[in-house]
Chains A and B, each alone.
Chain A
Amino acid sequence: MSRSPSLSGWFQQSVATGDAASRGALVALILLQVFRDIALIAAYWGFSAMITQWIMEESSASTSMLVLTLVSLLLVWVSQGLSLFLNHRYRLGLLAQLQSRLLLTFSRQQHALVRQHSAFHWQTLWQMHLPAVVNWHFDYRVQQMVAVVVPIIALVAIFTVNLVVGASLLITLPIVPLFMVLVGKGAAAQHRKHFIALERLGRLFVDRVSALPLLASFRAHDAQRELLDTAGNSLRERTMKVVSIAFLSTTVLDFFSTLAVALIAVYIGFTLLGEFDLGESINLQQGLWLLLTAPLLLSEMKKLGQFYHQKAQAESAREAMGDMLKNDDSVVNHAVFSSLSLSGELTTAPDLRTEQLNLESGDWVRLGGESGAGKTVLMELLSGQRPGLEAPVTHYALLTQTPVILPFSVRENLTLGGDFTDDVLGQVLAEVELNGWVASLPQGLDTPMGEHPPLSGGQAQRLAIARLLLRKAPVWFLDEPTAHLPQAQHDAISALIHRTCGDATVIWASHKPLPDAWFNRRWQVANGVVSQ
């Protein structure tokens, strides 16, 4: 996967594909917020006029100004409500859409993908990274545009009212992009430093808590607690030194926005008094309006700073997810397997190629090679769990070295929710010689297996084979099914497989000896090359 240039680039290429995250939604949210601020500027005008009428003209508010103010404020209120409503709706909509895309990716790449990371990794990706992308899209990206457009509009409005204030704000306008950079860089640096410090502290803590049995075994608990305390305190001192400077950049924005209000107030006040005369007359209405409108130049940018952490979170989401959320509307081919002939490059990362590789229906293939050579990768490729083949095998059974026993009943472990009669179940259990074991269970087929199933390794593998036998798959991928079993069990289970899968096409990877007579083909994987 090539590294995309920016977060938005990645989002456009890998997430906003198909009908997800339309641009229209983003534009609607931006327009609503800009419109809200324009209405606010109009409301300030009417408001200042009414105040002037009260204080200078000592009369009650005129109807025209009251209507202007209230209508504008209502528009502010309605557009704010509308943008809240849309934001929440879009957000949940996109979340649901991305969740189903994630599930689609899982259903396509299955075990080949999931086995690469821990369950915790996938939980985090699902629970944290998905919402992080959505939040960034609907908060940060919207605010980013608003923070550019609104100051320009406000500045134009200010110019039409008062040249001096407008000009002095314009002088600071080049500082605005500088602020963007400052806030961006500063907040980024601050966030990073703070985040790294917290993460380090957290990792040390997680590491030691996960090692509780080790610490108990070696009576090292107290020594390690002291270490955690010291590490926490010294990390705090070091971090605060760095962060102290990083905080300044946030303060700079606060400094300018606060000072702008203070200085404009003093300037306008003194002009009203006649102390200052820069050639432009000013009245209370204009002065008050300027005081209210000027903060809009910076307030939207300050809000952007509040969303800054979303960018960092979206960055780490991008790293974890890559292309997993891409729209995939390709159709899975359901043809029944008859034969297969492959040559040339099979897959990259890890590289795997072959001169010629043939597989006919009914073949028994012995797949050999060092561990890590790519036997599993080859089987994943043939089964389509790893993308690469045009027409992978579709109806197959896969047996790995670790049998999965679900915490549900024996029956559910076999049927996986499908419809099978007790007779059929009894038959396959007899085939794998587990009928005696099931009969000995307190509730027979309906005995729950729980978190610690009452099975030996060999029995668990037999149950897994029974589950596969039920499906009558024409192709079997056996990935070291006896690796964890002692020799006697290995012999028994292998013989069982040979007996029960006689008619199927079998590809069998094993380090342990198997009778040569069972196989009519031999594949060898070495140095990224599959040979037959």
Chain B
Amino acid sequence: MRNIPFISLLLAILHTTSGLLILIFSSWFLAACALLPVNFNYMLPAVIIRALALTRIGAGYGHMWLAHHDLLGRTTWLRSELFNRLKDHILVEKAGDVEKLAAQTEMLSSVWVGWVAHQASAAVLVLLSVSVVTYLTLPGAALMWIMAGLWLVISLWLVYFGLNKAASQAKDEQAFRYQSEHFFAASSLWHLQLNENNQQFRNAPQLSSVWQKQQAVESAGQWGLWLIHGAAIAAIGALFWSNQQDGFGDATAIIVPMLLLSITDWLGRPVGTVAHLGKYRQAAQALKRDDAAPLPPMVKGSPERAIELQDFQAQTMPHGVSVKLPVSGLVVLLGASGCGKSSLMKALAGLVPAQGELLFDGNTVAAGRREGWVYVEQSPRILEATLKMNLNPAEKPMTPEVMTQALAQFGLESLTNPDEWLGQGGRRLSGGESRRLSLARAQLAEPDVWLVDEPFEGLDERNQQLVEAGLLQAAGGNLVIVATHVLPAELTDRAAQIIEM
């Protein structure tokens, strides 16, 4: 675990403590001035009041600065840890889950500024006030003890309540995400359902229970504070009604009534936020949970003359494929979308678990990830990064000339500036450009075997030709397997082999 941000916490406590002290000390000072005791050194308290004011302002700023510095650093650190754990793993999750991970790291980092600082301040203030009033044996000291007890009980109960609610809220949220995912995926069917149900959705997902729970946590804190406030009012009444002599004529008698009167000022934020611990714990648990599936291991061995598949398949495919492949040239894997082409390609690339036999030059070899085998995804991923980084994400030593050459191979001569930022906030590539860039990236990894998934999907004539040309060039000395549901005429003639699935 990363260090506790002690200084920032200390400043937060100093900030709130000096705030309360100014009020209490000032009111005592007024009372003392009004009494005009003999030899009253009034200059010192005046200086102390101003010093407290400056302390409060300085500590407030310092806390804010340090806490945000810590928050940003902590977020980076948490993400780095998480990212490290995800090495050679695949997240088997739905859209939006990664965004949620990012949000949860942020949430967890803010626990210090958003929760601990408030609760620590409250604890210090409560302890300080009961010890002072007890030490000075002020009228109403017993009432302060009762208030402190009440604060403790309410805070503990709120923590308990918050933890429970957050857990059940997280469950409801998960259910909503699952239901709404299917709800929106089926939007092209809504017209059928609505027609049969008087234009109303029959089973639309709802967030009402999530909101109710969220609201319950929020209002529990506010009602908790309201109770404390009510108790403080009763205590003020009891104190003034019952006290017939104690501390009369003594300026310090003002302390307990002042503490009670201003209780919502100094306990407001802590009690209001104490139930939030639940959402921090949910974030911590979500980050600890391991939903990532490890990729199959790296394996050695490369084919010299021939590759053969015998009933080879990804585990998710209904049946295996048996076929012989050359070690160079262009092989087309033809079939309708959804027939398992992608799964087969991923199984060959070692990105999903495989079963069946894989033979190199007649010898059975293990399936898995291999040095020199590169899978090019169906929807090309352009990283939010420079062109250079997109072409060479592993940051291998590479000359600009090689990059230019790879770009030219796929007709991307228009991309000339290696430091140009791609993606959001930079240059947006068209679908065709993205596809060709992903192929140029593959080219720069110098693979022996290319596994290219649906490279012609959604491309116009010109882009299709550029991709074909680049792939044919790549197939000169290497094996290029192209999975596609459309067969461009050019490839029919020049493919070494066409496999129908």
A residues with a Cβ closer than 8 A to B are 47, 50-52, 54-56, 58-61, 66, 69-70, 73-74, 76-77, 80-81, 84, 88, 91-92, 95-96, 99, 103, 106-107, 110-111, 113-115, 118-120, 122-124, 126-127, 130-131, 194, 197-198, 201-225, 227-229, 232-233, 235-236, 239-240, 243-244, 247-248, 250-251, 254-255, 258-259, 261-262, 265-266, 268-270, 272-273, 275, 283-284, 287-288, 291-292, 299, 332, 383, 385, 394-398, 400, 402, 404, 406-407, 416-418, 452, 454-458, 460, 467-468, 471, 484-486, 489
Contacts and interface: CB of A to CB of B under 8 A. Distances in A.
Nearest to B335: A486
18 contacts: A51-B257, A54-B247, A55-B248, A61-B241, A70-B236, A70-B237, A95-B211, A103-B201, A120-B95, A217-B375, A220-B394, A229-B80, A232-B76, A251-B57, A272-B36, A292-B261, A417-B197, A486-B486
A233 B77 CA distance: 9
B26 A265 contact: yes
Contacts of B334: 486
B56 interface: yes
B212 interface: yes
B5 interface: no
Contacts of A235: 72
Given A107-B201, A236-B73, A284-B34, A261 B53 contact: yes
B423 interface: yes
A335 to B, nearest CB: 14
B231 to A, nearest CB: 10
A268 B30 contact: yes
A236 B72 contact: yes
B240 A212 contact: no
A486 to B, nearest CB: 5
A119 B369 CA distance: 32
Identify which of B34, B185, B202 gathers the most chain A CB atoms within 10 Å of its CB. B34
Given A255-B57, A288-B27, A416-B192, A123 B240 contact: no
Given A47-B261, A127-B207, A214 B393 contact: yes
A198 B78 CA distance: 13
Given A288-B27, A406-B186, A210 B98 contact: yes
B241 A55 contact: no
Given A218-B393, A225-B87, A265-B22, 12 more contacts: A55-B249, A60-B240, A66-B241, A205-B83, A209-B102, A210-B381, A223-B395, A232-B75, A254-B56, A254-B57, A404-B188, A486-B485
A240 B208 contact: no
The 3 closest A-B pairs by CB, nearest first: A232-B76, A265-B26, A220-B393
A232 B80 contact: yes
Given A107-B199, A220-B395, A291-B26, A228 B83 contact: yes
Contacts of A84: 219, 222-223, 226
A255 B59 CA distance: 11
B30 A288 contact: yes
B215 A91 contact: yes
A92 B209 CA distance: 10
Interface in B326-352: 334-339, 349, 351
B52 A262 contact: yes
B190 A110 contact: yes
Interface in B448-495: 485-486
Contact of A206 (B99, B173, B191): B99
Interface residues of B, number: 139
Nearest to B18: A258
B196 interface: yes
Interface of B: 19, 22-23, 26-27, 29-36, 42, 45-46, 49-50, 52-53, 56-57, 60-61, 64-65, 68-69, 72-73, 75-77, 79-80, 83-84, 86-91, 95-96, 98-99, 101-103, 105-106, 173, 176-177, 180-182, 184-197, 199-204, 206-208, 210-212, 214-215, 219, 222-223, 226, 229-230, 233, 236-237, 240-241, 243-245, 247-251, 253-254, 257, 261, 265, 295, 316, 318, 334-339, 349, 351, 369, 374-375, 377, 381, 383-385, 389, 393-395, 423-424, 441, 445, 485-486
A232 B72 contact: yes
Contact of A258 (B53, B215, B349): B53
Contacts of A273: 33, 36, 42
A456 B375 contact: no
Identify which of B90, B189, B334, B384 gathers the most chain A CB atoms within 10 Å of its CB. B189
A243 B68 contact: yes
Contacts of B251: 55
Nearest to B264: A80
A81 B187 CA distance: 44
Given A119-B184, A232-B79, A265 B30 contact: yes
Contacts of B61: 247-248, 251, 254
A202 B102 contact: yes
Identify which of A69, A84, A222, A236 gathers the most chain B CB atoms within 10 Å of its CB. A236
A73 B26 contact: no
A402 B188 CA distance: 9
A88 B95 contact: no
